[in-house]
DNA sequence: ACCTGAACACCGTTCAAGT
DNA sequence: ACCTGAACACCGTTCAAGT
């Protein structure tokens, strides 16, 4: 088969497949092609590169976020952005390194940064602190998402004699820990810590 | 030349070269071999794999940390551990993904986790919160270090009309921002936020 | 326009051959 | 024991060939 009568692939179909794959572990174009039942080279008719796929995923997320945010403002808006960001990154932890390393700066990302800057400004953060704070938030969210890939400690690997406190901590662990849930529950704590001392502006 | 009279390589020499290379950007065995003036295959006589190299770097760091910590305790000890960890990770951001992804759990790492658990316990953190908190600290430090690789925003890429607040923020940016320094200055804020509400135990 | 197969440069890893 | 060269499987990317 060469060109089919009706196209097999599309940007949308590729992104769906990526989302299905990238949740757990590594993500290669070979895997993606298998998932889509095409050859690897076919993918390049729809996306420019592996990095571009991640870029498209993020663009998609920002567009959705934009409508969801509505006209919320201040700490409420910030919290929504950060949690949504964490959810997005938590879905594709294996792609986070690409997200960090490759310098894709499209209009959507600039919009997000402007919105974050404006929201933080409204909360009372001075201009000099805006970029450092945005960088910190970025690092926390991406770091936490990426950390989802880390293998958790297993009780059998520590002995009560040499690691008493670790053993005690492991003993309190429930059967099924939802690490994604924990990620969310931690974010507001961190944000509260970062924003302590700032008080709201009256106008923007 | 086959086997030289006196060995060219050693674990120590390899780790030195890695530290020289991994500071900025990617790290391949080909680069490492060039830096050491040997062939790639020679490296395998001294380390088992690329991942093992990162593992050795971390082991080295933990051993140094151990002596530096002395008998400090409580929040002071925690702060020292975290800052030292950030410094270590900040030196080798390109290797952070390997550090997170590969499940190397040696005696040194277990010692570090036990020490963290004990230190947090002394600060007043209940057993149920120890592992989540350690995970969060890990994510923050590694995320922040990895984020050092991200390309920073450049003023020329945003327009004052569409991104007024981002433009204002960029205008306050000094010529040479030391992102590593900022990493450090943020960590204590985050720790304070995470540990708010806990009060010290009387005994361990 | 869109799918394929073959080729490319690069990656980490293995191993027989040499001293 | 330790360095080398050649081979391997895998990776992302390119491109001429087919419809």
Q: Is residue B184 part of a domain?
A: yes
Give pTM, 2 decimals.
0.91
Instruction: Give the nearest partner residue to A193 out of B103, B169, B194, using CB atoms.
Output: B194
Q: Is residue B1 part of a domain?
A: no
Q: Is residue B34 part of a domain?
A: no
Contact: A135, B147; criterion CB under 8 Å: yes
Q: Is residue B174 part of a domain?
A: yes
pLDDT the model gives residue A202? 59
A168 contact B CB<8A = yes
Q: Is residue A35 part of a domain?
A: no
Contact: A131, B117; criterion CB under 8 Å: no
The 10s digit of each residue's pLDDT in A108-157 is 999 999 999 999 999 999 999 999 899 889 888 988 888 888 877 787 88
Least confident window among B27-36, B43-52, B137-146, B172-181: B172-181
Mean pLDDT on A17-25: 86
pLDDT the model gives residue B201? 65
Among A residues 52-111, those touching chain B with beta carbons less than 8 Å apart: 97, 100-101, 103, 105, 110
Q: How many other β-carbons are positioned within 10 Å of the β-carbon of residue B129? A: 17
Please report, for the domain that includes residue A152, its CATH number.
1.10.357.10
- Please give the residue of chain B at the shortest CA–CA distance from A98: B150
Percent of chain A with pLDDT strictly greater than 90: 60
Signed CA dihedral, B169, B172, B177, B178: sign only: negative
Q: Is residue A32 part of a domain?
A: no
- E-only strand ranges, A31-146: none
Least confident window among B25-34, B57-66, B88-97, B139-148: B139-148
Q: How many separate domains does chain B show?
A: 1
Both structure tokens of B124: 């007043």
Q: Is residue B189 part of a domain?
A: yes
The 10s digit of each residue's pLDDT in B59-114 is 999 999 999 999 999 999 999 999 999 999 999 988 998 988 887 788 999 999 99
Quote the domain boundaries for residue A185. Answer: 72-202
Q: Is residue B164 part of a domain?
A: yes
Distance CA A90, CA A80 (A): 15
Q: How many other β-carbons are positioned within 10 Å of the β-carbon of residue B13? A: 15
């Amino acid at each position: 088969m060469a060109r089919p009568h009706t196209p097999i692939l599309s940007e949308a179909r590729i992104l769906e497949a990526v989302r299905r794959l990238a949740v757990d572990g590594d993500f290669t174009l070979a895997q993606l092609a298998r998932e889509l039942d095409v050859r690897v080279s076919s993918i390049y008719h729809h996306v420019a590169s592996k990095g571009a796929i991640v870029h498209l995923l993020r663009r998609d997320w920002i567009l959705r976020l934009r409508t969801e945010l509505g006209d919320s403002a201040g700490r409420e808006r910030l919290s929504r952005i950060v949690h949504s960001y964490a959810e997005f990154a938590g879905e594709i932890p294996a792609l986070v390194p690409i997200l960090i390393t490759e310098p894709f700066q499209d209009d959507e990302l600039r919009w997000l940064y402007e919105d974050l800057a404006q929201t933080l400004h409204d909360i009372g953060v001075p201009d000099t602190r805006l970029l450092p704070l945005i960088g910190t938030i970025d690092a926390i969210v991406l770091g936490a998402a990426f950390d989802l890939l880390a293998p958790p400690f297993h009780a059998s690997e520590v002995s009560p004699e040499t690691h008493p406190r670790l053993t005690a901590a492991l003993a309190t662990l429930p059967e099924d820990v939802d690490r994604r849930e924990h990620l969310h529950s931690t974010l507001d704590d961190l944000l509260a810590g970062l924003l302590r001392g700032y008080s709201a502006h009256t106008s923007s």
